Structure 1
Amino acid sequence: MKKTKVVVASLLKPIDDTRMFEKFGLSMAETNKYDINIIGFDSKNVRSAKGITFHPSLPFERMSFQRLIQPWRTFRKLIKVKPEVTIVNTHELLIVTSLYKILFGGKFIYDIRENYVKNIRETNVFPWPLRLPLSLWVRFKEWLSKPFIDHYFLAERVYQKQLPFLSKKSVVIENKYAPQAEESTAYRSPDPSYIDLLYTGTISESNGVFDAIDITKSLHLCNSKIRLRIVGYCALKRDLIRLKKEIEPYDFIELNGGDHLVPHSEIVEAIQKADFGFVLKKPNNGMNDDKILTRLFEYTANQLPILLLNNPTWVEFCEQFNAAIEVNPQDFNAQELLNKMKNTSFYTQGDTSTSLWNSEKEKLLAVLESI
Structure 2
Amino acid sequence: MSDNPAPRIPVLIASTLKPIQDPRAFGKLALSLGETNKYQINIIGFSSKKLKNTIDFRFFSSMGDSSFWSRIGSQIRLFRCLIKIKPKLVVCCTWEFLPVLSLFKSILGFKLVYDVQENYISNLDLNPELNEKQKRKRAFWIGWAEKKAKVDLYLLAEKCYQEEMPEKWPFLVLENKFQGKSYNSAPKDFKTRTEFRFCLTGTLTPAFGTVQAIRWFQEIQKVYPKSRLSVIGHAPVPEFFQKLKGIEKESHGMDWMISQTPIPHEQLINTIAAADFSLLPYSLHAAIADKMPSKLFECAALGTPVLITPNPKWENFLAPFKGGFGIDFSDLMQAVPMFQQAIRQTYFSTPAPGDVLWDSQKSDFQQAIDQLLS
TM-score using structure 2 length: 0.91
Distance 1:136 1:219 in 2: 45
Q: 1:267 and 2:265 equivalent?
A: no
Aligned residues of 1:216 and 1:228 also touching (Cα < 8 A):
yes
Q: 1:42 and 2:44 equivalent?
A: no
- Which residue of the partner structure matches residue 217 of structure 2? 216
CA offset at residue 81 of structure 1? 1.3
Aligned residues of 2:17 and 2:63 also touching (Cα < 8 A):
no
- Which residue of the partner structure matches residue 293 of structure 2? 293
Distance 1:204 1:193, change over 3 A: same
Aligned residues of 1:185 and 1:302 also touching (Cα < 8 A):
yes
Candidates 144, 151, 154, aligned match of 2:153: 151
Q: 1:344 and 2:345 equivalent?
A: yes
- Which residue of the partner structure matches residue 162 of structure 1? 164
Secondary structure of 1:266's counterpart equals helix
- Which residue of the partner structure matches residue 185 of structure 1? 183
Distance 1:97 1:140, change over 3 A: same
Alignment of 1:172-321 (within 5 A): 172-179=173-180, 185-186=183-184, 194-284=195-285, 286-321=286-321
Q: 1:26 and 2:31 equivalent?
A: yes
CA offset at residue 3 of structure 1? 0.6
Aligned residues of 1:16 and 1:43 also touching (Cα < 8 A):
no
- Which residue of the partner structure matches residue 58 of structure 2? 53
- Which residue of the partner structure matches residue 71 of structure 1? 75
Aligned residues of 1:79 and 1:100 also touching (Cα < 8 A):
no
Candidates 2, 15, 37, aligned match of 2:7: 2
- Which residue of the partner structure matches residue 103 of structure 2? 99
CA offset at residue 300 of structure 1? 0.9
Secondary structure of 1:18's counterpart equals coil
Aligned residues of 1:72 and 1:96 also touching (Cα < 8 A):
no
Distance 2:195 2:353 in 1: 26
Aligned residues of 1:14 and 1:43 also touching (Cα < 8 A):
no
Amino acid at match of 2:349: T
Q: Deviations over 1:37-85 (max 9, x none)?
A: 01001156968654111111232335x2432342232122211111110
Amino acid at match of 1:14: P
Aligned residues of 1:203 and 1:235 also touching (Cα < 8 A):
yes
CA offset at residue 261 of structure 1? 3.0
Aligned residues of 1:121 and 1:135 also touching (Cα < 8 A):
no
Aligned residues of 2:52 and 2:59 also touching (Cα < 8 A):
no
Q: 1:133 and 2:137 equivalent?
A: yes
Aligned residues of 1:199 and 1:230 also touching (Cα < 8 A):
yes
Distance 1:234 1:27, change over 3 A: same
Distance 2:266 2:126 in 1: 32
Amino acid at match of 2:165: L
- Which residue of the partner structure matches residue 115 of structure 1? 119
CA offset at residue 12 of structure 1? 1.1
Structure 2 segments unaligned to the other structure (5+ residues): 1-5
Q: Deviations over 1:67-123 (max 9, x none)?
A: 234223212221111111000011111111111211110110000000011112453
Distance 1:88 1:40 in 2: 11
Distance 1:140 1:213 in 2: 39
CA offset at residue 152 of structure 1? 0.5
CA offset at residue 197 of structure 1? 0.4
Secondary structure of 1:228's counterpart equals strand
Distance 1:337 1:225, change over 3 A: farther
- Which residue of the partner structure matches residue 3 of structure 2? none
Q: Deviations over 1:200-223 (max 9, x none)?
A: 111112111111101110000011
Length, aligned pairs only: 363
Root-mean-square deviation (CA), in Å? 2.3
Structure 1 segments unaligned to the other structure (5+ residues): none
Distance 2:63 2:339 in 1: 47
Distance 1:266 1:136, change over 3 A: same
Aligned residues of 1:142 and 1:165 also touching (Cα < 8 A):
no
TM-score using structure 1 length: 0.91
Distance 1:121 1:344 in 2: 36
Distance 1:10 1:290, change over 3 A: same
Q: Which deviates further from its counterpart, 127-136 or 297-306?
A: 127-136
Amino acid at match of 2:292: I
Aligned residues of 1:233 and 1:262 also touching (Cα < 8 A):
yes
